[in-house]
A and B are shown apart, each in its own frame.
Chain A
Amino acid sequence: MTWTFLWSVLSGCIMYGVPLLYATLGEVIGQRAGMVNLGLEGILLVGASIGFVVTAKTGNAALGVIVAMAAGGLFNLLYAFLAVTRRANQLASGLALMFFGIGLSALIGKAYIGTRIVGLARYQIPGIAQLPWASKTLFNYDVLVYLAFPMAILVWWVLFRTRWGLSLRAVGESPTAAFAAGRRVSLLRYQAQFLNGALSGLAGAHLSLALAMSWTEGMTGGRGFIAVALVIFSRWHPLRAIAGALLFGGAVTLQLQLQAQGTDVSPFLLNMIPYVLTLGVLVVWGGVRRFAAPGALGRVYYGED
């Protein structure tokens, strides 16, 4: 166990955890407004493909991220339209969005399979390389990594310290009561889903622009569903979502480290780790989670016409 090894594990936790953290934060906002969105997988794919195509065409990764965010937000309005305005079942609406995202991203990214790009620029924290126990590669991340934890704090602040956040949570607990208190239920839910889509689009762009630096069909590999699971794990709290995302990042890192060290364990078994671990964590958490869920989660709201 050298410092280098420990640091590379920590670094892996952060790199692989960050995109998941953004998606989880988005879904926390959405679920706090009372809506389960299984379409995250589709939004991640759309964000990843659009972000990649824009970056490959313009050479500007920052522009790619911004376009991916906007696209994710707008794309998710489709889900909001079905689940809020048309009062459709949330799970089916989410899966419809997933189908759409899988297909759309395949069309968008088709011409760019195999294209290489210069990903997001990386910056090292000044002075860190001088520390004796730190390796040169440490804390050398792109801007989105540095912004991830502040983003979690921002989401927490918005949800728990602002009027808008209070209204949003009220809508998630009881839309009828929130409506009676003068809140605009549909508008708030649309806003929440736009933010959810934007954050998930950002997460997708981070996958293709900072981690993989390439586009492949279905490259998100179920991360959208893992993000939904992590929302339950974090008990609908943005700061606990950090722990969940790091845990997932750790699982991916463990998998990659074992592969790199040439263990005898089959890569197929190692690839299971993130999914099995997520499921296992939910099982362990199961007994205590119930009372933390927003009261109206998953229910269709029929009022306000």
Chain B
Amino acid sequence: MRSRLKVLSDQVRRGLASAALRYVLILLIALAAYGAVLLMAGKDPVKAYGDIVKFTLGTSYGLSEVIVRMIPLLLTAVAVALPSRLGLINVGGEGQLYMGAWLATWGAITFTALPAIAFVPLLIFLGFVGGGSWAAVAGLLRAKGWVNETISTLLMNYVAPLIVGYFVYGAWRSAESSAFPQSPAFPPAARLPRLFGTRIHLGLVLAVLVLAIYWFVMQRTAWGLRMRAIGGNPEAARRLGIRLGWYIVIVLFIAGGIAGLAGMAEVSALHGRLRSGFSPGYGFVGFMISWLAGGSPLGMLLMSFLLAVIFAGGSLLQVTQGVPFAAVNVLMAIILFIVLAQIRFARRRRA
């Protein structure tokens, strides 16, 4: 028994080691390819990578900034992973993030007199409902068999920032700053608390909690099991006596709500105001993270850290080397290409 366990643990360790090796190799190839792109754009890739590593991993400030960026990435990744278990493709994390921030802002500038103990739960609730309702629209359209959720969530990504812009430039425009349109400042009680004396905020706790709940529900509850059973198989749902339509709407509501939390945390903890265009595409990258990790909780944690490093590095390179921020998309795409192409690094051993 004991020896069998030992063999098993050896296998697990070898599996983990080969998975780690795989990810490291993917990253190295991607960095080499992106380095070539930088070189062609007339930049110095060695210096660029050196700067990124020195800044993000070498200083505690840089590392804390990476974790700050990791929060929305992790939340939007779970917002993609959860419905994907049901065979639903939610590409609308970006829009849901904006709507969560929007509704939370409404709460923050309306109930200004609340104490912090009531405000934080209210913001979490509003952020969740804001993003959730936005996604539920797509869920309803899908459940009715009218519009595929992929296309509707994609299109709604372009509408949500316009709603935010409409309010920020209109009804909510703060009188104190005319040059830069933004909402009035959140009352101090409506700011999510920050941790460790850095810009890292309560959103990190929320994100890790959401990830843990996601893991628990998927692995340990009948609900998760049923969801995996139905995934992409309407016939199974019918036999289990599940009304698939409602299931779709509810799952997308929860997923959108999780993305909404990301938006709420961004505006409440970091900016303290709603601004138009405050997200540099977190929702899209969340989709990518969920894909790269195959919906695995640990994988999403690692991948969102990696992509947060890339994001932080992207902002850095924009300042130090004049590389446009959007160029980080090239690096992300190369990583995705390599994973999708399923390039084998070692010959499969025959069983």
Contacts and interface: CB of A to CB of B under 8 A. Distances in A.
B169 interface: yes
Given A99-B333, A286-B147, A88 B326 contact: no
Contacts of A78: 337
A103 B335 CA distance: 13
A82 B337 contact: yes
Given A82-B337, A82-B341, A268-B166, A282 B91 contact: no
A271 interface: yes
Interface in B271-321: 284, 287-288, 291
Contacts of B41: 107, 110
A106 B340 contact: no
A221 B159 CA distance: 11
A99 B331 CA distance: 9
Given A82-B337, A99-B329, A266 B169 contact: yes
B210 to A, nearest CB: 23
Interface stretch (B68-76, B148-156, B200-208): B148-156
B288 A95 contact: yes
Contacts of A271: 162
Interface string B70-93: 000000000000000000010100
B146 A286 contact: yes
B288 A99 contact: yes
Interface string A277-297: 011001100110010000000
Point out which of B41, B288, B323, B341 has the most chain A C-beta atoms below 10 A from its C-beta: B341
Contacts of A282: 146-147, 151-152
Contacts of B165: 268
Given A106-B329, A286-B145, A96 B324 contact: no
Point out which of B154, B166, B332 has the most chain A C-beta atoms below 10 A from its C-beta: B154
B268 to A, nearest CB: 23
A86 B163 contact: no
Interface in A203-235: 217-218, 221-222, 225-226, 228-229, 232
Interface in A91-146: 91-93, 95-97, 99-100, 102-107, 110
B342 interface: yes
A39 to B, nearest CB: 10
Instruction: Bin the interface of chain B by size.
Output: 35 or more
B237 interface: no
Interface string A79-92: 00110001011011
A139 to B, nearest CB: 32
Contact of A275 (B89, B158, B291, B323): B158
B326 A218 contact: yes
B37 interface: yes
B121 interface: no
B337 A96 contact: yes
B155 A96 contact: no
A27 B340 CA distance: 22
A2 B187 CA distance: 53
B336 A99 contact: yes
A276 interface: yes
B155 A226 contact: yes
B63 interface: no
A131 B170 CA distance: 45
Point out which of A78, A282, A290 has the most chain B C-beta atoms below 10 A from its C-beta: A282
Given A268-B166, A275-B158, A283-B141, A100 B146 contact: no
A272 interface: yes
Given A103-B328, A103-B333, A269-B166, A95 B91 contact: yes
Nearest to B290: A92
Nearest to B322: A110
7 contacts: A99-B333, A104-B330, A217-B326, A222-B158, A225-B154, A282-B151, A287-B146
Interface of B: 37, 41, 89, 91, 141, 144-148, 150-152, 154-159, 162-163, 165-166, 169-170, 284, 287-288, 291, 323-334, 336-337, 340-342
Interface pairs A-B: 6 shortest CB-CB: A286-B146, A103-B329, A103-B330, A100-B333, A106-B326, A268-B166
Interface of A: 38, 78, 81-82, 86, 88-89, 91-93, 95-97, 99-100, 102-107, 110, 217-218, 221-222, 225-226, 228-229, 232, 266, 268-269, 271-272, 275-276, 278-279, 282-283, 286-287, 290
Given A91-B91, A104-B37, 9 more contacts: A96-B288, A99-B329, A100-B333, A104-B330, A106-B324, A222-B154, A266-B170, A279-B156, A286-B141
